[in-house]
Amino acid sequence: MSNPLALIIEDDPDAAAIFSEALKAAEFETEIIVTGDKALERLTVTTPAIVVLDMHLPHVAGPDILRYIRADARLAETQVIIATADSSMVDTLYEEADLVLLKPISFSQLRDLSRRLRQQGLL
């Protein structure tokens, strides 16, 4: 059985690379998407176990993607980890997201968190 899919929606290539390595270390298949519209396109055909979602994206904003995921029954099991640099967004997104992480998010932080999610049997 192949590893579950983690979709990394992040326009900063460095952050995306680090997230990707962290999730690989936690034994996920990873895929990086750099724009909001591509992300929405991809989400219509895949069912990722985890979505790491940046809030400031080109074309379609992070909150809109979050709303899309939450409205789609097929994606009900998908865990959404929000990555934002804006501390004031933490409170507003807390309800809808499974996890809200304040940037900068380190490799070990994301690796440990996602590993814990797998071990808890959620994914």
List residues near another protein by CB under 8 A: 12, 14-15, 18, 21-22, 25, 85, 87-88, 91, 103-104, 106-108, 111
Q: Is the dihedral of CA 105, 92, 10, 66 positive or negative?
A: positive
* β partners of residue 100: 82
Q: How far is the CB of 29 from another protein (least distance, A)?
A: 16
The answer to whether the bond into 104 is cis (omega within 30° of 0) is yes
Q: How far is the CB of 79 from another protein (least distance, A)?
A: 21
3-state secondary structure of 27: coil
Q: Which is nearer to another protein, 21 or 64 (CB)?
A: 21
Q: How far is the CB of 39 from another protein (least distance, A)?
A: 20
